[in-house]
A = this chain, B = another copy of it.
């Protein structure tokens, strides 16, 4: 006979519960946005109670924070997975990878629309520190070594904003190649015009 009440370690239970909550929360945030999603909805979808949610997270914002960090990790992973073996043009590969990653439904809303409003700019900057901006800055330093450090930083920042906006359009159905071309135009222009 099987055991009726399966014994589980606290650690296992906690991880299980966190995953359930985050999964349910992610689905709702993606579908309806942060403001329109309530904690009762989240716990109902996860088939638990609000007690569990507030045991694992400080508040609703904290749930959102966890979802965003997890999503950022997933995006980074997707980009890296898409980039392996594509050594000939890392910029193009990275662009395509990011665009594809951001086409996962709702990601744009989650990461580019809601996250800045809910978490603030500072935290969002920290979230994708390893992502776009860093890669762009590194690429700039390599392709245009004559640029001053401050210029590299400024250019990387506004280029990454341009890039994100392009991804947003692509995610909403705009033709990917148009925006890859557009971004490449910016990039090439910067590199060509930079002091050598």
Residues of A within 8 A of B (CB): 33-35, 113-114, 116-118, 121, 150-151, 154-155, 157-166, 168-169, 172, 174, 178-179, 181-183, 185-186, 188-194
Contact = CB atoms under 8 A, between A and B. Distances in A.
The 4 A-B residue pairs whose C-beta atoms are closest, nearest first, are A189-B189, A161-B165, A117-B117, A158-B162
| Residue among A116, A117, A188 with max Cβ neighbours from chain B (10 Å) | A117
Main SS class of interface, A: helix
A162 B174 CA distance: 19
Contacts of A113: 116-117, 121
Contacts of A182: 151, 154-155, 157-158
Nearest to A179: B154
Contacts of A116: 113, 117
Nearest to A163: B158
A96 to B, nearest CB: 16
A157 to B, nearest CB: 6
B166 A154 contact: yes
A169 B150 CA distance: 13
A164 to B, nearest CB: 7
